[in-house]
Structure 1
Amino acid sequence: MPQLDYVFFPTQLFWLVITFTFLLLMVNFIIVPLAERIFSKRNDHISSYIKKAEQTNIQIQQINDEISRIAHISELEAEEIINQAKKSTEEIYNQRLMKHSQKIDQKVTDCIAEIEKMTINFQNSYKEQIIKYSQDLIKKLTNHEANIDQLHKYYNKLNKNKTIN
């Protein structure tokens, strides 16, 4: 086998050195710079994405803070509007209650006056009916006309005794 023959060692060594030198030069000047460029571009992309993500997170945090602030202000405004609406509603309710209470009081007063008027009318008509029936009764029992003035006086006298008791 010629590979193991010591006569061929120097030539084999020469080509071995040439081949490995060529490979070393290729790796050193072509492959390593390409890999370094690829890794540096990759690192640049990754770092730019990280910076963009950090900036986006800061913007998101600012937006969330602004949303929270606006929500808090909105809640305060809504609470103020609700309180104003409650006050307004209570005022309207109280005004209408007073208005209707006055109307009811007026109607009650009118009804009481009307009842008193009806009571007086009833008493007067009752008085007239009693006097008329008394006159008819006396006429039937005695066959004489009764004196209306005396019946009025007697009825008034009886009413005075009732109101005193």
Structure 2
Amino acid sequence: MEYSIRLVEKKDIRVLLDVRNNKDLFTTYLNQQEKKEVYLLVAELDRSIILGFGLLKLNSNLSPKLSDLYVNEHYRGNGIGSSLIRHREKLARKLGYSEIFVSVDPIGNPKMIKLITKLGYKRITEPYSRTALFYNEDGTTYEKTYTRVDLKRSLN
């Protein structure tokens, strides 16, 4: 399957809402992207079908963070998640960063732990708990306590 990965543009919001119905979230990401605080990338097929997306968050002098990786369930297992991770790593390297980190729920998302470990990420914390707001597919929010573990990878 041939697909491309590129930065999201404002005109993409309509298609992104088909993937995750949360206009406020995507509007926030696009506003932050204009300020170079985040970079939202999409994997797409034929410039019309969004296969997935991933966010790169920049934290001034701190290491950038991989966030919000999503691949449409019909296209999983085709390397799209790995490609979205690698493209964000490449972008972070281009921006002058020497390492990158990711925070993952080891209980709720063991597949992500397996994927990023395979891609060379090393655990830097023990599991810890957090409470945060999450978004349903319809855009409504709910509060949830979750477990996280932080991992990082050198970009050199």
Q: TM-score scaled by structure 1?
A: 0.13
Considering Cα pairs closer than 8 Å and 6+ residues apart, tell me whether 1 or 2 has the greater RCO. 2
Q: Which has the larger radius of gyration?
A: 1
Q: Which structure has the highest helix share of the two?
A: 1
Under a length normalisation based on structure 2, what TM-score does the superposition of the two structures give? Answer: 0.14
Flag the structure with higher strand content.
Answer: 2
